[in-house]
Structure 1
Amino acid sequence: MRILFTTTPDKSLFQQMVPLAWALRTAGHEVRVASQPSFTDVITQAGLTAVPVGSARDIQRLARLKPEHAEAARKGLPVPYDAAERDPAELDWETTLAGYRDVVSQWHRTDNFPMIKDLVEFARHWRPDLIIWEPLTYAGPIAAKATGAAHARLLWSIDVIGTARTRFLELKARQPEAERADPLADWLGGYARKYGGEFTEDMATGHFSIDQFPASLRMTADTHYVPMRYVPYGGPAVVPRWLWEEPARPRVALTLGIAATSRFAGHVADVGDILDSLADLDIEVVATLAESEQRKLGAVPGNVRLVSYVPLHALLPTCSAVINHAGPGTFLTTTLNPVPQVAVPWDFDEPELARRAAAQGSVLTIRADRATGPAVREALLRVLREPGFRQAATALRDEFRALPSPNELVPRLEELTAAYRTAIR
């Protein structure tokens, strides 16, 4: 088969695609990865073949939303995606519809427009059997519609986007027929007609969705899910010499991801206050912070090892606990070890993911703007001292291990591609 992966130039989203791309490649299939030209080096560093499409465009999604929706997004899910975590009976049609119009016009159009024309042109030339797209790269289903390829979303977190879509459609069905507007369908349908087709709901959520979360954490929409085990990949990595030996004291990782520094002005939580609050504990804190964030710190306590980067899949097996932002990649890598977590979430899906993990029992969560040093210290001491957190983390690790690996998933993808693919145009 020929498989085309496509993503907007967001490193954290692309990295979750890499293990499945490797699995398909080593199974003998042809694999290409299409993204904007500025992202080519990131793709080729992963050992994959890049296809530059469109023009370069910086991804600043939340900054482009209306101020009230952008602020809501930084505290969790913006309208209309907040529908995924709310009681459907409480949803307001006018507010939800207005939110959908905003994210389609200010977010999806802007991120995807630079890629669509070239991606369709390449797909018509190369004729992929299957297109795999991350859930915000709607250029993928547009290209699939134009060529007859099967297509699937590869979820990088709990399915906030698909669940919100299901809730929106339910709410839409309750409106008078003349008022059933659908901004996403209108936008995608315009491209479908341009390339010789009509809008179908799979353009919003895929013929099927590859989900890396087990049942205890999963968020489900009205779509076909195919489970897959998460495999960590963080880009080029070197294991430092200090990780060769077991730590002399309990080791705690503090890692708050790359989104806060790549898309925003920095971390919401006060990292300096957190580190100071842990200074008198008999632990080693390994804080992975970008150099721009390190420069904001004053004196660093003696029990802190400050590093710009260390591969999490090498660091976390040596840790007794982790303080993180519940970013999906960081969270998923942590669960595989297993290590109890103190989560300080803030952005988009992070608060809801942290809430579900807290309900499962392996995580304590504090919203980032309330994550003072004393609050984080108290939570950390609990997860270090109370065995229930590690027991829950072990149970969650076992749930993840029970999912099929990317290599084990390949035959199922072959079957689904044959079922959904239509005549190549």
Structure 2
Amino acid sequence: MRILLTVPSSRARLHRLAPLGWALRTAGHQVQVAGRPSFTDSITLTGLVAVPVGDGGTDDGGQEHHRLDRRSDTDALLDYFSLWRPDLVVWDSLAPAGAEAAQARGVAAVRMLGPLADRSEGDGLPGRTLDSLPPSLRTAGEPEDLAVRFLPYAGSAVLPAWLRRKPRRRRIHATLGDFASGTTVTALFDAMGGSDAEFLCELADDRIPAGTRLPGNVRLYQDAPRDAVLASCAAAVHDGGAEVTMSALAAGLPQLILTDGTTPTGLAPRVAGEGGAILADPAALRTEAIGRLLDDPEPRAGATRLRDEVAAMPGPREVVPLLAAVAGQR
């Protein structure tokens, strides 16, 4: 069977599809990934075959620039369909050109929804839907279709020496995202410095404001594989990004999710509502909140329940026969 994956120019979205691409490939199917020419290097770094389509586009630019949804994108895919003749198209919800080309050629199509995707992305286009969001975190009343387990993957990386040693004390993974600026970083470091845990902070040196003191129990890093880092940790502190939230869920870690005082959106309130996270204003963060994250049994129990729910979802290898059946129905 020939399967074409279509992706926008977003490494996060590509990485969500890559494990499925590997599962299909190792099951003996031919797999290729269509994306913009400027994105082909990112695709080939996953070990999958890239098919450049459309114009140059923007690698990880704004949503309106990295989508694969122009008429020229669909036309380029239709031209390629005439040559390669795929049996199935799996399309990211920000790459609907794949679905449109499949519809025009009578090819089976399956939409891939990421954990923070707008659930209406791609509505109106035919085909099944693969959803990586655990059922308890979906909006009530959402229809269920095909589920696939979220597998943390963030590209090629090297395991550093410090991650190959057994930690001497409990570790907490920290990624600050949009909060890595100004006095907020100082407040966060002050709270971390008062804890007896070791913090593995995914942050570049140049993001730290001048004059900020780095506590002795905080290690900065950039390139280590996040799933391996999380596997060595007892908890996670982060800004609520979809990838780190889902990775922490898969690792079964209680989470302290930073919010700026406005009503939180995305996964943060859902995970907190299921008992797996604590929400906190980073500017008012205190060491006591970090202690609660480590020692309070409630967020740990919630995190364990969510981890078990993620683990119970079918993995990419289990989804392969279902996709083959979808392709065989056309």
Q: 1:220 to 1:21 in 2, by over 3 A?
A: farther
Provide TM-score, normalisation by structure 1.
0.70
Name the counterpart of 2:282. 371
Counterpart Cα distance in 1 of 2:46 and 2:197 = 35
Name the counterpart of 2:78. 120
Q: CA deviation at 1:401?
A: 0.9
More helix by share: 1
Amino acid at match of 1:402: A
Q: CA deviation at 1:254?
A: 0.6
Q: 1:268 to 1:119 in 2, by over 3 A?
A: farther
Name the counterpart of 2:92. 134
Counterpart Cα distance in 2 of 1:235 and 1:365 = 29
Q: CA deviation at 1:326?
A: 2.4
After superposition, the C-alpha distances for 1:74-127 in whole angstroms (9 at most, x for unaligned) are: xxxxxxxxxxxxxxxxxxxxxxxxxxxxxxxxx389753263332222123211
Q: 1:41 to 1:215 in 2, by over 3 A?
A: same
Alignment partner of 1:314 is 2:228: yes
Counterpart Cα distance in 1 of 2:276 and 2:143 = 28
Unaligned runs of 5+ in 1: 63-106, 166-183, 185-200
Amino acid at match of 1:8: P
Q: CA deviation at 1:270?
A: 2.5
Counterpart Cα distance in 2 of 1:144 and 1:270 = 48
Residue in structure 1 matching 2:158, options 238, 249, 270: 238
Counterpart Cα distance in 2 of 1:244 and 1:415 = 42
Alignment partner of 1:324 is 2:238: yes
Q: 1:31 to 1:292 in 2, by over 3 A?
A: farther
The 8 Å contact of residues 172 and 233 in structure 2, kept in 1 or not, is answered as: yes
Q: 1:216 to 1:224 in 2, by over 3 A?
A: closer
The 8 Å contact of residues 3 and 128 in structure 1, kept in 2 or not, is answered as: yes
Q: Give identity over the alignment, percent.
A: 35
For residue 95 of structure 2, give the secondary structure of its aligned residue in structure 1.
coil
More strand by share: 2
Name the counterpart of 2:23. 23
Name the counterpart of 1:399. 309
For residue 365 of structure 1, give the secondary structure of its aligned residue in structure 2.
strand
Q: CA deviation at 1:52?
A: 0.8
Counterpart Cα distance in 1 of 2:304 and 2:66 = 42
Q: 1:299 to 1:380 in 2, by over 3 A?
A: same
Q: CA deviation at 1:360?
A: 0.5
Q: 1:345 to 1:236 in 2, by over 3 A?
A: farther
Counterpart Cα distance in 2 of 1:150 and 1:377 = 53
Residue in structure 1 matching 2:250, options 332, 336, 351: 336
Counterpart Cα distance in 2 of 1:119 and 1:290 = 39
Counterpart Cα distance in 2 of 1:215 and 1:110 = 27
For residue 309 of structure 1, give the secondary structure of its aligned residue in structure 2.
coil
Q: CA deviation at 1:218?
A: 2.0
Name the counterpart of 1:57. 57
For residue 361 of structure 1, give the secondary structure of its aligned residue in structure 2.
coil
Counterpart Cα distance in 1 of 2:130 and 2:272 = 24
Counterpart Cα distance in 1 of 2:44 and 2:67 = 25
Alignment partner of 1:352 is 2:255: no
Counterpart Cα distance in 2 of 1:402 and 1:158 = 20
Q: 1:269 to 1:131 in 2, by over 3 A?
A: farther
Q: CA deviation at 1:220?
A: 6.5
Q: 1:110 to 1:134 in 2, by over 3 A?
A: closer
The 8 Å contact of residues 46 and 235 in structure 1, kept in 2 or not, is answered as: yes
Q: 1:158 to 1:226 in 2, by over 3 A?
A: farther
Alignment partner of 1:408 is 2:318: yes
Alignment partner of 1:154 is 2:84: no
Counterpart Cα distance in 2 of 1:351 and 1:394 = 23
The 8 Å contact of residues 158 and 219 in structure 1, kept in 2 or not, is answered as: no
After superposition, the C-alpha distances for 1:364-391 in whole angstroms (9 at most, x for unaligned) are: 123xxx421x326443222112011111
After superposition, the C-alpha distances for 1:281-308 in whole angstroms (9 at most, x for unaligned) are: 2111111114542466733111110112
Q: 1:223 to 1:396 in 2, by over 3 A?
A: closer
1:277-288 to 2 correspondence within 5 Å?
A: 277-288=191-202
Name the counterpart of 1:86. none
Alignment partner of 1:302 is 2:303: no
Name the counterpart of 2:184. 270
Counterpart Cα distance in 2 of 1:269 and 1:48 = 43
The 8 Å contact of residues 160 and 219 in structure 1, kept in 2 or not, is answered as: no
Alignment partner of 1:14 is 2:17: no
For residue 56 of structure 2, give the secondary structure of its aligned residue in structure 1.
coil
Q: CA deviation at 1:140?
A: 1.5
Q: 1:290 to 1:112 in 2, by over 3 A?
A: farther
Provide TM-score, normalisation by structure 2.
0.89
Q: 1:345 to 1:150 in 2, by over 3 A?
A: farther
Counterpart Cα distance in 2 of 1:110 and 1:214 = 25
For residue 336 of structure 1, give the secondary structure of its aligned residue in structure 2.
helix
Counterpart Cα distance in 2 of 1:311 and 1:109 = 25
Alignment partner of 1:382 is 2:310: no
